[in-house]
Amino acid sequence: MPSVRRIAHAFLERQGLTTVFGNPGSNELPFLAGLPDGFRYVLGLHEGAVVGMADGYAQASGRPALVSLHSAAGSGNALGALTNAVASRTPLVVLAGQQVRPAIGPEAYLTNVDAPALMRPLVRWAAEPACARDVPRALAQAVFEARLRRGPAFLSVPYDDWTADADENAPAVLERRVERAGAPGAEQGRRLAETVAAARRPALVLGGDIDTDGLFHDAVRLAERLGGPVWAAPSVFRLPFPNRHPLFRGVLPAGIEPVCRALSGHDLVLVLGAPVFRYHEHLPGRYLPEGTRLIQVTEDVSAAARAPVGEALVADPAAVTGLLLTALGAPGPPVGDYRPVPAPAGAEGPRLHPEEVFAALREEQPADTAYVVESTSTNSSWWRQMDLRRPGSYYFPAAGGLGFGLPGAVGVALARPGRPVVGVIGDGSANYGITALWTAARLHVPLTVVLLRNGTYGALRWFGELLGVPDAPGLDIPGLDFTRIAEGYGVSARQIGGVPELRAALSEPVDGPRLLQIDTALTTPA
């Protein structure tokens, strides 16, 4: 019989999981040995960066990504980055090496004691096979769990299992296929269509799943048939709708009372592909205005169950969108032109206002550029200046944990080599995933990193003002020069002195990774 490893490699190849993101340790070497031709190993220097790259790659490619972590230490290092993958519902198959089976009980060096418990309750599914012969089936389950549950699935495998003989049933796993259909039933569809059609002042709230599922343009068609305002759900991690479309009202604020105020006057709020809602600041109040009905459509069973208000239909947003487009018939009159972009604000002194930076990006970068953004203190400037009209244009850390931005940008660029990719990264967040620059240099990834340096955790300063603690320690981070750090990792870098120099740099052809460091004025995110 073939070995467990050979069956595993063949299964992963059939499932299209041939790019492995990892930082190997001794427990992982037996799995990595003899990877078939066509597999690619993407080496990261820290597990947080490894997961961030895989997260960006999976989101941009639309396919699950395979991650290899080292026992307990590597899995622990990856946990922070996995929070973003969980919140963005990114399907990751996470394999961790384990000590040989006879060494687990005595807790030999590099044993991952109770490996599944280490990762729970964060990941969607976690396991360690009871015996070597169960590894192929368990690996298949991890792949299907990641796909069906839309999130990371974790499998710990003792390293002596890979060379064990598979049993006669193992090859059957190669033919496995698991699919999911989520169309609403006829009666459910009829009720929903009638409710939406009868609304006098409907509002549409769209989540990141709309972009993830390829429904960006369908969402525009649906909005134009409804004719009402459109918001992105709070804490949005993908842009589900063109942000300068005349119906777009922006990203809903992440507080209970401001959301209620924003939705005032609407008799129906239809939420597609988003939780209800991912609040941040604790601003209490009514969840919804008096007389407003909310209907949530999501594939995420947990999001439907935990929502504090409204009705929920657990179904495929694509099927529901198609049903509503058919039921609502032809679009109404034209909704008007896209809204113009205001002139960018300026800053006094040598520092640039973030709006000046984003205006330069908008005007100098190709219209199909994909932006990976992790500069939370510049949110308001970002949405004032950008004009994003294409799917897959925006990626943001879904759980708010820093460290996704730089690695995520590398992953997006790896997945979409024919599309320009720009990482807009704050100096506070850059440190969490800085080792991703080495991977970008080694793989010669075509990527522009726009590093905004203001010397402080700007978003924390703003939040401290909200909490009434503006003088908390640890908010300033002076003395960081990312041009020198980038050059040490093999990435070309330069300090940008002004808007003309920035525009000239952005207009240059991109051949491999580059970093542009820009000193910016401190602004507020809201």
Q: Which residues are catalytic?
A: 25-26, 28, 47, 70, 280, 400
The candidate with the shortest Cα–Cα distance to 403, out of 186, 4, 78, 86, is 78
Distance (Å, whole) CA 220 – CA 248: 10
Structure tokens at 408: 């995520």
Q: Are 27 and 75 in contact (CB under 8 A)?
A: no
Non-local (6+) Cβ contacts of 177 within 8 A are: none
The candidate with the shortest Cα–Cα distance to 54, out of 9, 98, 93, 13, is 93
Distance (Å, whole) CA 400 – CA 251: 15
User: How many Cβ atoms sit within 10 Å of the Cβ of residue 507?
Assistant: 11
CA atoms within 13 A on the CB side of 28: 22
Cβ burial, residue 79 (10 Å; 0-12/13-18/19+): middle
DSSP lists the bridge partners of residue 447 as 513
The candidate with the shortest Cα–Cα distance to 61, out of 10, 17, 29, 104, is 17
Give exposure, 369-383, as e/b (b: 16+ Cβ within 10 Å): bbbbbbbbbbbbbbb
